[in-house]
Amino acid sequence: MKNTGLFLGGLILGATAGAALALLYAPQTGEDTRRQIKIKIDELEEELDKMRVKLKEKGSEMKEDARKRVQDLETRIEKLMEEYRKAPEKAK
């Protein structure tokens, strides 16, 4: 999750830097520039929403996978314990 946060931070920082450079070199009116900024912000918000959904899905998948693995381990341990109980004691 830490890497995802870093990635999102880098994405936002890169988008902001790109937008700032575009504004500095754009030969257009302030109104056009503001409209373009609003469009880009809306696009970024949509992309972030999509990423949030994907992260939630991935988190759910990982949680389910971990739950299944734990259940498998519990089953294996129970079988081993049962075999141990049934095994004849070694003579001393």
In DSSP notation, 32-69 reads HHHHHHHHHHHHHHHHHHHHHHHHHHHHHHHHHHHHHH
Q: Are 16 and 59 in contact (CB under 8 A)?
A: no
Higher confidence at residue 75 or residue 92?
A: 75
Q: What is the pLDDT of residues 15-64, one digit of tens each?
A: 878 877 777 777 778 788 788 888 988 888 888 888 889 888 888 899 99
Q: Are 11 and 51 in contact (CB under 8 A)?
A: no
Specify the pLDDT at position 87. Answer: 79
The single-letter DSSP state of residue 21 is H
Structure tokens at 42: 């809306």
Q: Are 40 and 15 in contact (CB under 8 A)?
A: yes
Q: What is the pLDDT of residues 64-85, one digit of tens each?
A: 999 999 999 999 999 999 988 8
Specify the pLDDT at position 68. Answer: 95
Q: Flag whether pLDDT at 88 surpasses 80.
A: no
Residues 6+ apart with CB under 8 A from 15: 40, 44
Specify the pLDDT at position 75. Answer: 95
